[in-house]
Amino acid sequence: MKKLALALATVAPLALAGTASAKDMKGRFGVGGQLDTNGAAGLSLKYWVSDLGFQGILGYQMVGESGTDTKDNTSEFDVTLRLLYNIARANDTNLYAGAGVTLGLYGGGDNVPDRDASVFVDLVLGVEHYFTDYFSVAGQVGLHIDTGDQFRLAIGNVSSWGTAFHFYF
């Protein structure tokens, strides 16, 4: 009798649980914002073909020491293109890995780097949680490697993290 009660106590919650379905984003397009510590921050566009997705980020930032002396200000325009792949899907959360390229264009001011442009390679691992079918929040960690004349692989220089939100259509 005890074995039957134990078996029922084990199986009953499984029978009462709702069905779990992985979040399938096939054919969905998302518009939102992304902020990464590596400078790839701004308007984010995502499109999921299947478990394979594409992301583009357009960003602009002004860097300067004072608002009164604009000659010290530097402007930077970033374009990031990434290929993403969902490596695991759960109820409302997907785990993805990705790789991409960021092109940084510099202009204006005395703080401009020794070059007009930089190319970075991005490797990311992230989690995207869907609060509804139309809204998600994501977080990621990764590497952001400068391929220019300042090539470096010290973890403090290349590690990055970021967060994002997207509205899907």
Model confidence pLDDT, tens digit, residues 2-46: 544 434 343 444 344 444 456 778 899 999 999 888 666 899 999
Structural domain containing residue 143: 27-168
CB-based contact 84:97 (threshold 8 Å) = yes
Confidence at residue 28, expressed as pLDDT on a 0 to 100 scale: 93
Residue 98 CA to residue 107 CA, distance in Å, equals 29
What is the count of structural domains for the chain?
1
With tokens 């009164």, the residue in question is 68
CB-based contact 75:62 (threshold 8 Å) = yes
Q: Is residue 1 in some structural domain? A: no
Q: Is residue 13 in some structural domain? A: no
Residue 51 CA to residue 112 CA, distance in Å, equals 40
With tokens 């970021």, the residue in question is 162
Query: How many whole angstroms from its chain centre is CA 133?
Result: 18
Confidence at residue 109, expressed as pLDDT on a 0 to 100 scale: 58
Q: Is residue 21 in some structural domain? A: no
Q: Is residue 9 in some structural domain? A: no
Confidence at residue 155, expressed as pLDDT on a 0 to 100 scale: 52
Q: Is residue 54 in some structural domain? A: yes
Beta strands in the chain, from DSSP E residues, in sequence order: 28-36, 42-48, 52-63, 74-89, 93-107, 117-130, 135-146, 159-168
In the chain, which stretches have pLDDT less than 50? Answer: 3-20
Q: Is residue 83 in some structural domain? A: yes
91: CATH: 2.40.160.20
Residue 148 CA to residue 65 CA, distance in Å, equals 25
Q: Is residue 37 in some structural domain? A: yes
Q: Is residue 93 in some structural domain? A: yes
